[in-house]
Chains A and B, each alone.
Chain A
């Protein structure tokens, strides 16, 4: 399977600040990247889908101005949580898929805690 990294693995920030999370596909070109969030003991909730060089497609109920996604290259996508609030505290996980591929591989996740 594909190797996907995320950085940082965990972050604590103050309310009102912005946090950037990086997702890298280490061993193949990820045409499509996905961002999920997961609350404790719950399933994965898709936030947005991004294709390299295009604007991200956000799921219903996800604020695009709050969760900024940039998919600038075939190996890097970033998620920026702007003006973070305690309710944004969650586990954020990216996922990648190759062009023409079906299988989807996940990163190790980033734990965000907003105080």
Chain B
């Protein structure tokens, strides 16, 4: 089955700096890669996703890059703000069919210091 490794487990940055979280996956058939933000006591929120037919996707201060050859993808947050502080999870899955499942990384606790 799929295995997703996520690094770092914790990340502390100063407000305004950039933050980068990296994930690797093992199943070469995986073609969908979402990122979730989870604030304390809340459910995960989908913030951006990328499919394997593109190498980069950007949404305002958030971007995700995908390297299919190396089987890794990264989340980039620019101009970080204190409200970006949360746990971020990457995930990977195949798509198609009714029962494909997301495999999650172990999460990264991002702290943005004012």
* Interface residues in chain A, defined as those with a beta carbon under 8 Å from any beta carbon in chain B: 1, 4, 6, 31-32, 34, 42-44, 46, 49, 51, 57, 93, 99, 102-109, 111
- Residues of chain B within 8 A (CB-CB) of A108 are 42-43
Could you tell me if A46 and B43 are in contact, using CB atoms closer than 8 angstroms? no
Total A-B contacts with CB atoms under 8 angstroms apart = 51
The main secondary structure of chain B at its interface with chain A is loop
Smallest CB–CB gap between B78 and chain A, Å? Answer: 22
Return the chain A residue nearest B45 by Cβ: A106
* Interface residues in chain B, defined as those with a beta carbon under 8 Å from any beta carbon in chain A: 32, 34, 36, 41-46, 49, 51, 89, 95, 98-99, 101-102, 104-107
Report the separation of the CA atoms of residues A107 and B42 in the bound assembly, to the nearest whole angstrom.
8
- Residues of chain B within 8 A (CB-CB) of A1 are 45-46
- Residues of chain A within 8 A (CB-CB) of B34 are 103-104
Report the separation of the CA atoms of residues A4 and B30 in the bound assembly, to the nearest whole angstrom.
26
Smallest CB–CB gap between A90 and chain B, Å? Answer: 13
Report the separation of the CA atoms of residues A36 and B6 in the bound assembly, to the nearest whole angstrom.
19
